[in-house]
Amino acid sequence: MSHPTDPPIDPSRRWTLTASPSYIDARKSLFQAELTLRSQIEHVAALRRALPPGPFLPPYTFTEGPRDLSASGPFTHPTLADLASNGRSLVMYHMMFGPDDENVCPMCAMFVDGLEGAVGHLEERVNVVVCAAAPIEKVREWAKRRGWGKLRFVSSAGSGFNRDMGTEDAGVSVFQGEEEGVRHLYMQKGDFGPGVERGLDLLCPVYNVFDLVPEGRGNWYAGNEYMMRSGV
């Protein structure tokens, strides 16, 4: 609580009153860099929004179970158009979990953890779904073990969707339904090419928090073991 005799608070201040001059100078320089980054992020987002219309896609069919992962059925077969309904964009996370895999890719699982926590907010504006190539029963069982239960999960097993989309690896796609069909608007993958990672960083709260601290990211990678040990 402020006192009437306290000096006015500078809204641009990002340091304590006891900070050294050298710290203040460095923090001011960092602030300008952060402001430039913010402007660049918005510039890239504007370029993304301004992409020309993408191609219409075939009427792919998926398999989906009830939102309640403890239910054993019934299973439905929504089309891509069904997923991209209501006149809203469809955001699809391509989760690396194939028919022969025992576990979801740990990095994918971390990204889906973030979407699981945010899906209530996201669904106020867009449709959200997680897609994997593994059979739907396997996807649902793993999701239940992980503690997920708010997201929609679909399986592309038995279709050419993953092959046609080039999404055997992790990625995110945006689709939009129109009267003539569903367009593919945008895709980003987990890397920018061989050995160049961080393609999906903006979707990940974990890495963004690590970027705030002196330890940084280092060579840390997500794992499934500690999440399962913690009961999540």
Q: pLDDT tens digit string along 84-128?
A: 998 899 999 999 999 999 999 999 999 999 999 999 999 999 999
Cα gap 190→103, rounded to integer Å: 18
For residue 151, the SS3 value is coil
Which tokens go with 3? Answer: 């006192």
- DSSP, res 79: B
Q: Residue 192 is which amino acid?
A: F
**Rounded to 5 degrees, what are φ and ψ at 131?**
-120, 135
Q: Is 60 exposed, middle or buried (0-12, 13-18, 19+ CB in 10 A)?
A: buried
For the chain, the structural domain boundaries read 63-191
Q: 63-191 sits in which CATH class? A: alpha beta
Nearest C-alpha neighbor of 184 from the set 202, 159, 167: 167
Nearest C-alpha neighbor of 191 from the set 224, 166, 158: 166
Q: Is 220 exposed, middle or buried (0-12, 13-18, 19+ CB in 10 A)?
A: exposed
pLDDT band at 1 (very low <50, low <70, confident <90, very high): low
pLDDT tens-digit profile of 210-232? Answer: 999 999 999 999 999 998 755 55
